Amino acid sequence: MLALIRKDLQIELRTKEALASLLLLALLMLVVLSFAFDPTSALRSESAPGALWVAVTFAGVSALNRSFVAERENDCLQGLLLCPVDRGTIYLAKTIANFLFMMAAQLVTVPIFVFFFNLPLSWGLVGVVASLGLGVFGLSAVGTLFAAVSVRTRAREIMLPLLLLPLIVPVFIAGVKVTARALADKPLADVAHWLHLMIGFDVVFLVVGWLVFEYAVEE
Amino acid sequence: MTARVIEARDLGRTFAGVTALDGVTLEVRAGESVAVFGPNGAGKTTLLRLLATLLRPSHGTLRLFDQSVGDGAEARRRIGFLSHQSFLYPDLTPLENLEFYAEMYRTDAQRAHQLLDDVGLTGWAHRPVRTLSRGLEQRAALARAVLHDPDLLLLDEPFTGLDTAAASTLMRMLREAQARGTTLLMTTHDMTRGFDLCERAVILTNGRLVWSGVLAETSPDALVHLYEARTQRGSPTVGASAARL
Amino acid sequence: MNESVRKWADTFLPPAALCAMSAAIYLVFEYVPTAQGEGVVQRIFYFHVPIATMTYVAFGVVAVASAMFLWRGTLGWDRIAHASAEIGMLFCSLVLITGMMWARPRWNTWWTWDARLTTTLILWLIYAGYLMLRGSVGPTDQGARYAAILGIVGAVDIPIINRSVYWWRTIHPAVIVGREGTSGLTDPRMQVTLAVCFVAMILLYLWLLVVRLDGMRLRDRVEELRQRALREASALGTAA
């Protein structure tokens, strides 16, 4: 499995496609959302968590879509399926690789988010990153499964968001809640139930994806 | 008694109601080289993919290396597959691709270097596959296919689109594999190659096996006539070259 | 579905559904008294609740049939999943519409973001995704498998979605709706009406399911015959 993850990282380092599109798209969304709210109004800081998560989600969906497009060239997915490797393992490796890419993008996205929305630099940001970690993992777990599915359909670009967004509503809501809490510098213990929800979501769908992935890739 | 590498009984596969393969029974023993002739759409690629465990049969049974296929992982370890698509990641170099596959097949990565020299790609080992010409890419694909020293090599029209140099490299490597006792199954349009490399052959049309026999006992012309007789269809290429199907 | 089950369904279901629906309509509009201080619009409730229940039951069927299809591989299960999804989508749309029709006169809002309504909305989106997925891939084995994956993942997700949306709403003051629970259905006539409506909706669902399954089976058979005819034609075809 490590070999699979390393392969994806290698390709990414060579082309930097996923990272670039993730960063630019997230950045763009933050800018647009900034225009949606008047910079001087109080509504601005209240909407900040939501804005961050919208940006992260849409950028993430776009990156997930691409993760399997790469496997289509030269039919590499068939090459992978020819190897004596468990299909579930391929899924896990892809999920982890996608998660790593998305988290790497956060390194730049979060600071920009802080600057745009004029948020104070505080320890609360650790909580924000933690909630992003949990949420992005769930996004990756469900998204990798459905990216494999959508890449073989006709309406490729729209199919993944269409399928994915309703399904990830729980982690989205949870993420926004926890982020809001963290930014307000309040103790995270209050939102423990949201954190549990996210962890539960991540675990459940990682398992489901692992079990079901073979049906998504075999013919 | 030589081991049975492939034992297919009444193998069939349908795709959304279209029958690609219907009741194919085939037995191949260790060390044999079998050519699969047939026109386009006959089901040759489907047969190959079924044998490589990339597809599951809709009906019939398949045994590989004298065992049930199961989930296929064990069998895949011993199978090499060469197709039109190279299965190489275009943004990585041939060397990186081979090292990756070596890890996937749990083979020594040193073989990657060795094989790249064998196929004559030493100079291009560090350029992304995207930049290679088709002939070079196919050579890299060949290296990938034999990287883990498979007992069974499945080849889908391997000579199509190859320049003479690449074709002779392929020929040489296939003969070397045969000398090592590797079992070969090759689909091809080019009957001369088939006769050159293999002792046995089968003909597939419309998903059915219509002929099976030893090549030493026949000739390309005879086979073409036989093929016409079996399918009652005039092949447009007969006039052009008797050696092609 | 074997012959005898289908025959029974074809003869019994249509008239039964028709009877039940007629009875339901009569009961809802004529028989049952108007609930205290609610107004005539409240009668929608007797349709709204059973339809809502059937929406979720239909999705449950989709999930189970999907799992059976992936496990067993028989096409029959896939047809059940597909048919149930289509009917479920219809019922889901009806729920949302009747919900809005009820909410506007009653609480003066078109839409409240309460837990149940929002979950149903998301379910509608999942249904839509399911049908779009099937439409985008076509009637292939692979398409059936993709849809089955969505069916299973969706079903696992719905409880989680419900929980998260519920938590989302209980912190904010809002138009909290206590739809069917609040009014204790004191009057036995109300209980009867509701029960009859439930029966009517169940029969309606089953009947539509059977009709749709039949349609799919016939369509597949026609396709099969067409393929066979094509193959035989090309085999006999152009003699040299």
Q: ipTM of the predicted structure?
A: 0.84
Nearest CA in chain B to C232: B206
SS3 at position C2? coil
Whole-number pLDDT of residue B232: 52
The whole-number average pLDDT for the span B17-36 is: 85
Closest CA–CA distance from residue A27 to any residue of chain C (Å): 27
How far is CA C149 from its chain centroid? 18
Strand order in the sheet with B18-29: B18-29, B4-15, B59-64, B67-68
Interface mutation vs chain B, best among C71, C134, C141, C230, most B CBs within 10 Å = C141
Interface mutation vs chain C, best among B15, B233, B235, B237, most C CBs within 10 Å = B233
Q: Which of A3, A74, A86 sits opposite B100 (nearest CB)?
A: A3
Whole-number pLDDT of residue A152: 80
Most confident of A48-57, B62-71, B219-228, C31-40: A48-57
pLDDT tens, chain C, 240 aa long: 567 777 887 788 888 888 888 888 887 777 777 766 667 777 788 888 889 999 999 999 999 999 999 888 788 888 999 999 999 999 999 999 888 887 777 777 778 777 888 889 999 999 999 998 888 877 777 888 899 999 999 999 888 888 888 888 765 433 334 444 444 556 777 788 888 888 889 989 998 998 899 898 888 888 888 877 887 777 676 443
Contact A216, A149 (CB under 8 A): yes
CA pair distance B244, B221, nearest whole angstrom: 9
Contact C84, C61 (CB under 8 A): yes
Residue pLDDT, tens place only, B9-24: 888 888 776 778 888 8
The subunits that touch chain C, with at least 3 C-beta pairs less than 8 Å apart, are A, B
Interface mutation vs chain A, best among B13, B67, B87, most A CBs within 10 Å = B87
Whole-number pLDDT of residue B238: 35
At the top level of CATH, which class does the domain B1-78+182-245 belong to? Answer: alpha beta
CA pair distance B9, B24, nearest whole angstrom: 6
Asked if A63 has any chain C CB less than 8 Å from its own CB, the reply is: no
B83: which 2 tokens? 């197709």
**Boundaries of every domain in chain B:** 1-78+182-245
Is pLDDT of B234 > 50? no
Backbone angles phi, psi at B19, to 5 degrees: -85, 110
Whole-number pLDDT of residue C22: 84
3-state secondary structure chain B: CCCEEEEEEEEEEEECCEEEEEEEEEEEECCCEEEEECCCCCCHHHHHHHHCCCCCCCEEEEEECCEECCCCHHHHHCEEEECCCCCCCCCCCHHHHHHHHHHHCCCCCHHHHHHHHHCCCHHHCCCCHHHCCHHHHHHHHHHHHHCCCCCEEEEECCCCCCCHHHHHHHHHHHHHHHHCCCEEEEECCEHHHHHHHCCEEEEEECCEEEEEEEHHHCCHHHHHHHHHHHHCCCCCCCCCCCCEC
Whole-number pLDDT of residue A188: 67
Closest CA–CA distance from residue A162 to any residue of chain B (Å): 25
Task: Domain count for chain C, please give it.
Answer: 1
pLDDT tens, chain A, 219 aa long: 778 888 888 887 777 777 888 888 888 888 888 888 776 666 667 788 888 899 999 888 888 888 888 788 888 888 888 888 888 889 999 999 999 988 988 888 888 888 888 777 777 788 888 889 999 999 999 999 999 888 888 777 788 888 999 999 999 999 988 888 888 777 767 778 888 889 999 999 999 999 999 888 887
Contact B50, B21 (CB under 8 A): yes
Amino acid at A154: R
C232 in a domain, yes or no? no
pLDDT classification of B43: cutoffs 50, 70, 90: confident
C182 in a domain, yes or no? yes
Nearest CA in chain B to A219: B55
Residue pLDDT, tens place only, C200-209: 899 899 989 9
Whole-number pLDDT of residue B243: 38
| CB–CB contact B234 C224 (8 Å) | no
C198 in a domain, yes or no? yes
C222 in a domain, yes or no? no
CA pair distance B222, B102, nearest whole angstrom: 43
C111 in a domain, yes or no? yes
Contacts of C85 (CB under 8 A, 6+ apart): C58, C59, C62, C127, C130, C131, C134, C147, C151
Whole-number pLDDT of residue A203: 94
Residue pLDDT, tens place only, C98-119: 888 877 777 777 787 778 888 8
Chain C contact set for A165 (CB, 8 A): 125
Residue whose C-alpha is closest to residue C75's, from C223, C187, C200, C193? C223
The pTM score is 0.84
Whole-number pLDDT of residue C2: 67
Residue pLDDT, tens place only, B93-133: 888 889 889 888 888 888 888 888 888 888 888 888 888 88
| CB–CB contact A167 C132 (8 Å) | no
Which residue segment(s) compose the domain that C107 sits in?
A: 3-215
CA pair distance C66, C77, nearest whole angstrom: 7
| CB–CB contact B233 C237 (8 Å) | yes
Chain C contact set for B43 (CB, 8 A): none
Whole-number pLDDT of residue C41: 73
